[in-house]
């Protein structure tokens, strides 16, 4: 069975593997649309299969059940997000924080993936949701990475660790929360501008509290 990240255009694939990779990609793209519109509970395998133009048993040939489809769908969504400009903290410090605005702009340009993410994030707080552990790990990792970037950008050991952690949580919260406003009224909300303004304001608050003159 092909992996979810197998590129159907890979010249090394044989005809059968290429057909399988193409079908898996079609199923994942259908799941993005269907779960984005109906939520995880409302998006049945039959509905996803119908959207692709295959039977439910044919879909189960590629994904053994709905939960395995969701897990691979999350990986697929993350891969696509990285390809269109997902968050990178490689540069660290202020450059990493500035890149969060670019990430928000990329999310605005990819509404289908953003809607899928927002729907699954909201649903993940419900009991036994299969994406709950993914989002718990993701948010914990993001808070840690943003905290490190803030510490480097501020470059002031006098700033209390608790203040940095709270600021990181606030930045992540704004980035995730503003997506709902954008999805409901995209012409009224600029996600990139909101993200950048939030980061500037919160860093200014940290610097003021620590007595730093840097802006």
Q: For the chain, give every domain's residue range.
A: 15-79, 86-210
Checking if the pLDDT of 165 tops 70, the result is yes
Q: What is the rounded CA–CA span in Å between residue 203 and residue 47?
A: 46
pLDDT at 87 over 60: no
**Per-residue pLDDT at 43 exceeds 80:** yes
> For residue 88, what pLDDT band results from cuts at 50, 70 and 90?
low
Q: The CATH number of 15-79 is which of 3.30.9.10, 1.10.10.60, 3.40.1190.20, 1.10.1740.10?
A: 1.10.10.60
pLDDT of residue 9: 61
Average pLDDT over residues 171-200: 96
Q: Three-class SS of residue 8?
A: coil
* Positive or negative: CA dihedral 165, 207, 198, 145: negative
């Amino acid at each position: 069975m092909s992996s979810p990240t197998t590129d159907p255009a890979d010249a090394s694939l044989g005809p059968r593997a290429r057909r399988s990779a193409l079908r898996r990609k079609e199923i994942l793209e259908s799941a993005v649309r269907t779960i984005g519109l109906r939520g995880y509970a409302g998006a049945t395998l039959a509905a996803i299969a119908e959207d692709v133009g295959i039977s439910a048993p044919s879909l189960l040939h590629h994904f053994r059940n709905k939960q395995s489809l969701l897990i691979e769908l999350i990986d697929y969504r993350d891969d696509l997000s990285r390809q269109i400009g997902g968050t990178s903290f490689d540069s660290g410090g202020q450059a990493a924080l500035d890149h969060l605005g670019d990430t928000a702009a990329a999310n605005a340009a990819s509404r289908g993936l953003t809607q899928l993410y927002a729907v699954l994030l909201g649903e993940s707080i419900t009991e036994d949701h299969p994406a709950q552990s993914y989002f718990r790990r993701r948010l914990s990792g993001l808070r840690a990475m943003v905290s490190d970037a803030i510490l480097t950008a501020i470059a002031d050991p006098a700033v209390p660790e608790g203040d940095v952690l709270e600021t990181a949580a606030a930045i992540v919260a704004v980035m995730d929360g503003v997506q709902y406003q954008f999805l409901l009224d995209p012409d009224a909300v600029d996600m990139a501008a909101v993200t950048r303004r939030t980061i500037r304001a919160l860093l200014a608050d940290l610097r003021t509290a620590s007595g730093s003159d840097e802006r």
